[in-house]
Structure 1
Amino acid sequence: MNDDLREALTAGLGSPVAAARQLAGGASKEAWAISLADGRELLLRRAGGGVMHLDSLSLRQEFDVLVAARAAGVLVPEPIEYLGDLDGRESFVMELVRGEAIGRRIIKAPPPGLDLQMAEQLAAIHAIAPETLPFLASGDLWDRLYAELDSVDEPHPAIEYGLAWCRERLPLERPRVVSHGDFRLGNLMVDDAGIVAVLDWEFTHISDPAEDLAWPLVRAWRFGNDAKRLGGIADVGPFFERYAELTGLRIPPDELLVWEVLGNCKWAIASLTQARRHLRGEERNVELAILGRLAAEMEYELLDLIEKAA
């Protein structure tokens, strides 16, 4: 952490920074573990060099989502203070939670009942009153995805085919809810007892609840353990049954498959847009460049799923 950022953070929090360590991960935001001279341990979330999606929340909005989620009983880090511009980038601080958030480590020994806890947290998220967060995007899903794909400015016929295939099969008629937008292993802090906190709310929006439900089924979020369709940790049945018990909503299996195809389309588009941040000089980063090459894996996966559905 440079001196200017340290001084700005000290002024914003009213206590000198005793130690600061930038955490790994986070494709579009910085995260710093901060120890203050007054004994507080916090996490600084700070804007990076761009955004992953067109409708990504500002950090002011993300902070307000955390406040609403915590009030609704969702396990989230306590939001401490929105700092605004901090040495040139928007920032806020929240409680520093401890545990494991790296998916590849979690799947090696997931805590018992993690799948059911995921269902419970997702049900709580979907119960947040949308009117408490009036700034959340609620536009047409297809318009958003096509606009993001167009921003890549190169042809990807497999993704276009996947979007068209899904659009024919998803009427999107059920009531929409507050959706996390990226609910999966990797965005959950986990310890031996289960979920400590749901993280990374920058993609929160209003959508069909099935969009969130199917997202952790996407192969990329199984972290190599394809034997367990739900995030590499469990079979899908208990997860969906627990969610249905809490919400009364059951999604037909054939529809979930369509949402899984769409999830692969979404992640392929996001990977390409991240790579564009690097190529356009918005944020020169090898990790972002590598993400662009991963899109081919999602293209193959979505075509394979469509073939199986046929």
Structure 2
Amino acid sequence: MTTATPDAILATQLDAVTARLGLGTTVPGSLVRLTGGASYETWSFDAHDGATAHPLILRRVPADRPAASEQVGPETEARLFIAARAHGVPEPRIHHILTEADAMGQGFIAERVAGETLARKILRDPRFAPARGRLAWQCGEILARIHAIPLAQLPPLDTAFAPQRMAALEADYRGLQVDRPVFELAFRWLRDHAPPVLSRPVLVHGDFRNGNLIIDETGIRTVLDWELAHLGDPLEDLGWLTVNSWRFGQRDLPAGGFGTVAQLIDGYHSGGGPRVDPQAVLYWRVMGSLSWGIKCHQMALPVAQGAALSVERAMIGRRVSECELDLLDMLGKGATQ
């Protein structure tokens, strides 16, 4: 007797779901596991109803692997996709949120959007040249739409302004039991320059950056990865986008490696957001750089006993020193670009 492989079992389960949704049956051989994502699995597949082909994506946390505690669950993420799409944010259509009866773990099925997510290709490939000049402005406009979504239309989310974000970062750092003078300096600077807590939070994407956007020759097609979404200060998203690590070598173009802070702010204002002081964006860039530096250090630590070794972890871990140099550069010059 031949035992069905896990991929074959998943394909059969998806076939039942797509038939029930009216999308037809899954196309044999179309199910492919995509790379990327430490906590979620992402699968590409196609369904056909006899007249129309439906390119689809399955995002799931398998039943035997709980979602990371600092992330929103996949059902919440799917509902954020739906809310953002309803308010003009470019998002894929969500076809189905998985239930226990589907027996595929937690997750959702969405339409598959064509385009590129690999940041280095977006920043260097000639075919993206027509789009690059307007990407920073588009990012600002999209972020303004995200921040304007009424809170009543969102699923439950944690609230975290600068003090809460700082406290969580410091707890992670102290847990490493190391002394990194540059990180200590950054914590002191962040405490001394903390912005006032807003009377009303907004939806914060939490990981809006080059690499989490699907882009084609016309510009941004889709915003991905709402796993770190929360309520808080809107400038956190603008600052995170300008962290040097997300410029992928294009240091002189702080907004994602493809534009300027001025272009980002202009797009934000055009999209309905307030006119932003670049110095306020700097605060969140410093925090973003510190946050990524701490994450890099965590990646550099030995993996838990029995866990698989990962080249990716080692590659990320070695970038701690890059984050320290970025922090020294910002804190030494007070740069706002």
| TM-score normalised by structure 1 residue count | 0.89
State how far apart, in whole Å, the 2-side matches of 1:72 and 1:288 are.
37
Which of 24, 44, 60 is residue 58 of structure 2 equivalent to?
44
Offset of residue 259 of structure 1: 1.8
Which residue type is aligned with residue 170 of structure 1?
Answer: A
State how far apart, in whole Å, the 2-side matches of 1:269 and 1:160 are.
11
Offset of residue 3 of structure 1: 2.3
Offset of residue 215 of structure 1: 1.1
State how far apart, in whole Å, the 2-side matches of 1:152 and 1:203 are.
22
Q: Does 1:70 align with 2:75?
A: no
252-261 vs 184-193, which deviates more?
252-261
* Partner in structure 2 of residue 136 of structure 1: 157
Offset of residue 35 of structure 1: 1.4
Contact 2:136/2:259 (8 A) holds in 1: yes
* Structure 2 CA distance for partners of 1:194 and 1:248, relative to 1, 3 Å: closer
* Partner in structure 2 of residue 10 of structure 1: 15
State how far apart, in whole Å, the 2-side matches of 1:46 and 1:236 are.
35
Offset of residue 204 of structure 1: 0.8
Alignment of 1:250-289 (within 5 A): 250-274=275-299, 278-279=303-304, 281=306, 284-289=309-314
86-95 vs 184-193, which deviates more?
86-95
Contact 2:92/2:110 (8 A) holds in 1: yes
Deviations 1:68-108, CA, capped at 9 Å, x for gaps: 11111110011111114666642211110001111111112
State how far apart, in whole Å, the 1-side matches of 2:247 and 2:184 are.
24
Which residue type is aligned with residue 130 of structure 1?
Answer: L
* Structure 2 CA distance for partners of 1:283 and 1:10, relative to 1, 3 Å: farther
Query: What is the root-mean-square deviation of aligned Cα atoms in Å?
Result: 2.6
Contact 2:136/2:258 (8 A) holds in 1: yes
119-128 vs 262-271, which deviates more?
262-271
Which of 189, 192, 195 is residue 214 of structure 2 equivalent to?
189
Q: Does 1:159 align with 2:170?
A: no
Offset of residue 177 of structure 1: 0.9
Alignment of 1:217-228 (within 5 A): 217-228=242-253
State how far apart, in whole Å, the 2-side matches of 1:152 and 1:84 are.
38
Q: Determine which structure has greater relative contact order: mean sequence separation of CA pairs < 8 Å that are 6+ residues apart, divided by chain length.
A: 1
What secondary structure, in the 3-state scheme, does the structure 2 residue paired with 1:113 have?
Answer: helix
What secondary structure, in the 3-state scheme, does the structure 1 residue paired with 2:110 have?
Answer: strand
Which of 161, 169, 174 is residue 145 of structure 1 equivalent to?
169
Offset of residue 46 of structure 1: 1.8
What secondary structure, in the 3-state scheme, does the structure 1 residue paired with 2:235 have?
Answer: helix
**Structure 2: gaps of 5 or more residues:** 1-5, 20-24
Deviations 1:177-220, CA, capped at 9 Å, x for gaps: 10111111111111111111111111111111110011111111
Which of 42, 56, 68 is residue 31 of structure 1 equivalent to?
42
Contact 1:55/1:137 (8 A) holds in 2: no
* Partner in structure 2 of residue 125 of structure 1: 146
* Partner in structure 2 of residue 198 of structure 1: 223
Q: Does 1:309 align with 2:334?
A: yes
Deviations 1:88-144, CA, capped at 9 Å, x for gaps: 642211110001111111112440422211111111100111222242110422222
State how far apart, in whole Å, the 2-side matches of 1:282 and 1:172 are.
42
Higher radius of gyration, 1 or 2 = 2
Deviations 1:151-170, CA, capped at 9 Å, x for gaps: 54544443243123112202
* Partner in structure 2 of residue 92 of structure 1: 108
Which residue type is aligned with residue 35 of structure 1?
Answer: D
Which of 259, 265, 273 is residue 240 of structure 1 equivalent to?
265
Which residue type is aligned with residue 34 of structure 2?
Answer: L
* Partner in structure 2 of residue 169 of structure 1: 193
| TM-score normalised by structure 2 residue count | 0.82
Which residue type is aligned with residue 2 of structure 1?
Answer: D
Contact 2:76/2:155 (8 A) holds in 1: no
State how far apart, in whole Å, the 1-side matches of 2:17 and 2:119 are.
33
Q: What is the count of residue pairs matched by the alignment?
A: 309
Which residue type is aligned with residue 189 of structure 2?
Answer: W
* Partner in structure 1 of residue 203 of structure 2: 178
Q: Does 1:101 align with 2:106?
A: no
